[in-house]
Amino acid sequence: MPTENLLYLRVADDLRRQIVNGELTAGSRLPSRAQLAEQFHVSENVVRRAIDVLMAEGLIETRTGARPTVRQRPQLRRLTRSWYREQREGSPFRADIKAQGHEADWTCESKTTTAPPTIAERLRIAADAPVMRTDYVFTSDGEPVMMSTSHEPLELTRGTPVMLPERGPYAGQGVRDRMSAIGQRIVTATEVVTARPVTQNESAALNVSAGTMVMVIQRTYWTDERPVETANIVVPVDRYELLYVIPVEGD
Amino acid sequence: MPTENLLYLRVADDLRRQIVNGELTAGSRLPSRAQLAEQFHVSENVVRRAIDVLMAEGLIETRTGARPTVRQRPQLRRLTRSWYREQREGSPFRADIKAQGHEADWTCESKTTTAPPTIAERLRIAADAPVMRTDYVFTSDGEPVMMSTSHEPLELTRGTPVMLPERGPYAGQGVRDRMSAIGQRIVTATEVVTARPVTQNESAALNVSAGTMVMVIQRTYWTDERPVETANIVVPVDRYELLYVIPVEGD
DNA sequence: TCGAATTTGTGCGTATGTATC
DNA sequence: GGATACATACGCACAAATTCG
């Protein structure tokens, strides 16, 4: 169906065209529903459905009482998910953000708890085994942009200087350096990437509107023998793209 | 807001609970709008919005004239996006799918064209330089599950036996082996992962409902000197998760 | 096979609450 | 505080597709 004959889709198409063409600049306001209805000679209801479509596409934002605003297309920032042929030191997140000309920082909170089943499986430890759980919220230029929840088996770190990830001599230096300090040499990371709608908690913490999507990276760090850390990293799809550099082996 | 006081969200929550609890089994039908409206003591319009929410979440499917059907939760299949410590031969896609106990196949169509700007940039060739474009639709157990669009510079392959990716002695063997046959030794792949709503074309080709999300992998194969192939790989988020295995180098 | 009942998708009108300006 | 505008909620009508006797 090249030409759309449904009213609300026709309206949505026209408005979308104006947005991507720049006739409606980022940050500007759309006409009100009543104005659009008169303009397109349709009912307000049709306009509302068209607005819903554009909102689902992430092109506009709506707030009750205010006319819809054209979202400024945030430039995608790139997260490099690879150490291949790079000499990376300290926190990968900070290095990535600084490389793109922004200020990076984070807050975190650690507590000991017991491993939930999915985490236990990923760490290959018994369910309910003691773990150190650390919740991070990462900020770029002061705005929260990413969050993650990390789990480390306490059987590895208990009683060592690195038990608390963000305290002590190795604070803020990343998992690899911390684990290295207690003789755990990380040689591999696995990352399982999925995408899903944002949860209420995440939408509040990351200041993104409900219904938008996030990518979830289930990252696990491995020594030659065992997994030593695993984390769920949550990134809004409209803020980040992920870059993987993959060595291709074989003749 | 722990308890939701909006009518349509209350209805959606109740129906969602019934689905995930298994009270509404996969493949079964929901009651009709009128029945649900009476059941919940709300208007049909509220039920409609609740249905919209569940559809956006991918929990149900609707067809005009038929009651909404509960989608059978497709088990996520895993795409391995790495050659690290694996000896992979031929098509990575087929190997992955077969390893998970399914039949894999694909259809494709090649044509010569000129490089659009984004592709030209990724291949580091002039815009409008001649390229071989190949569109793939991958099937698993006969169902379309993934699609991709590949571009190769014709300056590399013109006049060689591998010019047409799916014809000749190297048909179906994957980019690495084909390029190897003409002396292009691929040593690195880069993949940029993003997620966005499915387009109309994709939703028709992949048989997924409109409004659902896909992950897009922008993959580029590199020799030591230059990019030799780039592809946009489109995978629905509710069918696949991506697995990256990353060697961690250093000290 | 056919036709009638059912059900969804679309479209219209209106009212109320609430946030914005 | 008042005017504006969106979010939610109610009602109804019709076309198209499905379902089923």
Interface test with B, best of A4, A238, A249 (most B CBs within 10 A): A249
Distance CA(B144)–CA(A205), nearest Å, equals: 37
Amino acid identity of residue A215, one-letter, is: M
Residue of B nearest to A88 (CA): B250
Could you tell me where the DSSP H helices lie in B89-198?
92-99, 117-123, 154-157, 174-181
pLDDT at A235 over 90: yes
pLDDT at B182 over 90: yes
Residue A45 CA to nucleotide D13 C1', Å?
15
- Nearest-CA neighbor of B175 among B124, B159, B114, B166? B166
Count how many pairs of residues, chain A against chain B, have C-beta atoms within 8 Å: 127
Class of the CATH domain delimited by B4-70 = mainly alpha
Which B positions 170-209 lie with beta carbon below 8 A of chain A?
176, 180, 186-197
Mark yes or no for CB contact B84/A249 under 8 Å.
yes
Placement of tokens 């509040």 in the chain: A204
Distance CA(B39)–CA(A122), nearest Å, equals: 43
Angstroms from A142 CA to nearest CA on chain B = 24
Spell out the residues 6+ positions from residue B22 whose beta carbon is closer than 8 angstroms to its own. Answer: none
Which A positions 30-59 lie with beta carbon below 8 A of chain B?
56-57
CA atoms within 13 A on the CB side of B128: 0
pLDDT number for residue B2: 38
**pLDDT above 90 coverage of chain B, percent:** 49
In tens, the pLDDT along A83-126 reads: 765 666 667 777 777 777 778 888 999 999 999 999 999 999 99
Tokens representing residue A109 in the block: 């909170």
Mean pLDDT across A154-180: 89
Residue B70 CA to nucleotide D19 C1', Å?
18
Spell out the residues 6+ positions from residue B161 whose beta carbon is closer than 8 angstroms to its own. Answer: B168, B169, B170, B181, B182
The DSSP bridge partners found for residue B150 are B134, B231
Distance CA(A8)–CA(A10), nearest Å, equals: 5
* Higher pLDDT pick, B58 / B108: B108
Q: Which of B57, B83, B213 sits opposite A249 (nearest CB)?
A: B83
Tell me whether residue B201 is exposed, middle or buried, using C-beta atoms within 10 angstroms of its C-beta: 0 to 12, 13 to 18, 19 or more: exposed
Residue B87 CA to nucleotide D16 C1', Å?
54
Placement of tokens 């409004």 in the chain: B211
Query: In this structure, are residues A136 and A147 in contact, taking their beta carbons and an 8 Å threshold?
Result: yes
How does the average pLDDT of chain A come out, rounded?
87
pLDDT number for residue A116: 96
In tens, the pLDDT along A57-76 reads: 778 888 888 899 998 877 78
The domain segmentation of chain B, as residue ranges, is 4-70, 77-245
pLDDT number for residue A74: 72
Amino acid identity of residue B50, one-letter, is: A
B7 CB neighbours strand D below 7 A:
yes
Mean pLDDT across B218-237: 95
**pLDDT above 90 coverage of chain A, percent:** 45
pLDDT number for residue A184: 94
Angstroms from B239 CA to nearest CA on chain A = 10
Mean pLDDT across B117-130: 96
pLDDT number for residue B89: 65
Residues of chain B contacting A195 with CB distance shorter than 8 Å: 195, 213, 215, 237
Distance CA(A77)–CA(A100), nearest Å, equals: 8
Q: Which of A83, A187, A248 sits opposite B188 (nearest CB)?
A: A248
Whether A241 and chain B come into contact, CB under 8 Å, resolves to yes
Helix B33-40 and helix B44-56: axis angle, to 10°? 110
Mean pLDDT across A141-162: 92
Mean pLDDT across A163-186: 89
- Nearest-CA neighbor of B233 among B244, B246, B245, B217? B217
Placement of tokens 């709608």 in the chain: A197
Q: Which of A91-105, B29-43, B146-160 has the lowest mean pLDDT?
A: A91-105
- Same CATH fold assignment for domains B4-70 and B77-245: no
In tens, the pLDDT along B38-69 reads: 989 999 999 999 999 888 888 898 989 999 99
Query: In this structure, are residues B165 and B150 in contact, taking their beta carbons and an 8 Å threshold?
Result: yes
Which B positions 66-85 lie with beta carbon below 8 A of chain A?
76, 78, 81-85
pLDDT number for residue A164: 92
pLDDT at A217 over 90: yes
Strands in chain A per DSSP E: 60-63, 66-70, 77-80, 104-114, 130-140, 143-153, 188-197, 213-222, 227-236, 240-247
- In CATH terms, B77-245 corresponds, of 2.160.10.10, 3.30.450.40, 3.40.190.10, 3.40.1410.10, to 3.40.1410.10
pLDDT number for residue B22: 87
pLDDT at A211 over 90: no
Residue B206 CA to nucleotide C1 C1', Å?
34
pLDDT number for residue B49: 92
Would you report the helix, strand and coil content of chain A in percent, each value rounded to 5?
30, 35, 40
Which B positions 219-238 lie with beta carbon below 8 A of chain A?
221, 237
Placement of tokens 């689902």 in the chain: A56
CA atoms within 13 A on the CB side of B33: 15
Residue of B nearest to A87 (CA): B250
Mean pLDDT across B184-197: 93
- Nearest-CA neighbor of A70 among A131, A19, A23, A121? A19
Spell out the residues 6+ positions from residue A248 whose beta carbon is closer than 8 angstroms to its own. Answer: B83, B176, B186, B187, B188, B189, B221
A51 CB neighbours strand D below 7 A:
yes
Residue A111 CA to nucleotide C18 C1', Å?
41
Residues of chain B contacting A184 with CB distance shorter than 8 Å: none
Judged by C1' against the alpha carbon of A66, the nearest nucleotide is C20
Distance CA(A96)–CA(B38), nearest Å, equals: 55
Distance CA(A10)–CA(B201), nearest Å, equals: 17
Could you tell me where the DSSP H helices lie in B41-197?
44-56, 92-99, 117-123, 154-157, 174-181
